Amino acid sequence: MQTRFTGWDIGLLAEYHYDGRDTIEFGGQSFNTTPLNHDLFGGIRWALNDVQNSQFLGGAITDTDSSETAFFVEASRRIGSRLLAEFEARSVNFTTPDGPLHFVRDDSYVQFSVTYFY
């Protein structure tokens, strides 16, 4: 199979997450209504623009108050006309016991899949 390279695209991603809702009081402690309050996100999207539609997306989100960080990577590529290979990984690191992402600290995962189209 012959491949034609037409150039690739890179997209840089950046976001600031802010939630202006008030905190709630429970048991003498204050809690944010969302874990994504005052957070920074940075990422990259890389598309090869090839016949196999190869692409990569990765990034991280960091809580500016607690420095907790969540990472993700996604990649996919067609194999021939009937198969699609996909990879996905997510990880939550550097959590603190009172941080907003501490409850998902053990939910990191890696997944690889191949889909057949008929």
- Confidence class for position 3, pLDDT limits 50, 70, 90: low
Residue 63 near residue 39, CB atoms below 8 Å: yes
In a domain, 103, yes or no: yes
Within the chain, strands assigned E span: 9-17, 24-26, 29-31, 39-47, 55-63, 69-79, 83-93, 109-116
In a domain, 24, yes or no: no
Of residues 35 and 87, the one with the higher pLDDT is: 87
Residue range of the domain that includes 59: 9-19+37-116
Predicted confidence at residue 96, as pLDDT, reads 80
Tokens of 77: 């590529």
In a domain, 14, yes or no: yes
Of residues 102 and 88, the one with the higher pLDDT is: 88
In a domain, 101, yes or no: yes
Predicted confidence at residue 38, as pLDDT, reads 84
Tokens of 55: 């692409």
Q: What is the pLDDT of residues 22-80, one digit of tens each?
A: 677 777 776 666 777 789 999 999 999 899 999 999 999 998 888 889 999 999 999 99
In a domain, 53, yes or no: yes
Number of domains in the chain: 1
Tokens of 42: 């940075």
In a domain, 32, yes or no: no
Q: Which residues contact 87 (CB under 8 A, 6 or more apart)?
A: 73, 74, 75, 76, 110, 111, 112
Residue 63 near residue 77, CB atoms below 8 Å: no
In a domain, 43, yes or no: yes
In a domain, 28, yes or no: no
